[in-house]
Amino acid sequence: MPVLVRCSTCGMSLQAPDNLAGGRAVCPKCRTVLQAPYAAPAPVGVAQPVQGSAVAPKTSGLAVASAIFGVLICLGALSGIPALIMGLLALLAIRKAQGRLGGAALAIVGICLGALSTAATAVAVVKLTSATTGAVTVARDKARGAACANNLRQIAIALERHMGDNGGKYPASLDVLLNKGYLPDARALLCPGCGNAGARNFSAASAGALPCGYVYVPYGTQRTAMISPLVFDRRANHKGEGRNVLFGDGHVEWLREPELGARFAAEAARNPEFKKWLDAHAPDGGP
């Protein structure tokens, strides 16, 4: 740096180049020979400021990684969760660095995008689980309904065999079919659609009174018409959604409650015997 020299004759202040420090110089005004002083050394251990060269803080690598993972939002939680974790760690590190570490904005971007993708993934998983559970429930209910209809077909065959051996008479109850061997499996008297698991431990003697059993309309010796209901589900067997009904001609139909009520009303108007039974047993099987 230049050395300041003041002329002792004319008082003019001069700046001599640093290479003339300690040497001689001539005053340009009065031509006096001047002795240039030596430059003062900088104090030891004191850093000399450098003008216009401030050092920028280093960007946090975790912040950069968080932003990158956050941008990959299409990967859902696979990128969202790492973005959240690394973004939070980056913010903690930046705060502890006290200005020596940057990238807070990148960390915040990564946290926001990571939270968004993670939340979207959670919502999608909930919806998928709900849809899958609903589909499984529907499929299970349909399978139970089909098994219930198969039970009624077995009962129809057993009733035909009984009438063939007993002069066209219907049995007094469905238990007779079990006791006399017309129905080989007692589980045919238990509706698979009923949720009452405790009723599955039953005996042939009590099958007709089970909450999960079937309602039987004994017609005595009368040959029923095709539209006459013979055996059908109790109301609670299929969660009140409908019932399987075995008709006098041996076919089975699934009827919703309103349709079942209409069919029962039509049969009661046509068949006095059914009307008498319906009036007496409405709490068990009637609409």
Neighbours of 50 (CB within 10 A): 8
- How far apart are alpha carbons 158 and 36 in whole angstroms? 133
Sequence-distant (6+) residues with CB within 8 A of 166 are: none
Q: DSSP letters along 19-34, please?
A: GGTTSEEE-TTT--EE
Tokens 């973004």 belong to residue: 87
Specify the amino acid at residue 59: T
Tokens 């939002």 belong to residue: 73
pLDDT tens per residue across all 287 residues of the chain: 566 777 777 877 777 676 666 667 777 778 777 776 766 555 555 555 555 445 678 888 888 888 888 787 766 667 788 888 888 888 888 888 888 888 888 888 888 888 888 888 888 888 888 887 777 777 887 888 899 999 999 999 999 999 889 888 888 888 888 889 898 888 888 888 775 544 444 444 454 455 568 888 888 665 666 678 889 988 888 888 889 999 988 899 999 988 988 988 888 888 888 888 888 876 444 44
Residues facing residue 214 across a β-bridge:
233
Phi, psi of 206, rounded to the nearest 5 degrees: -110, 5
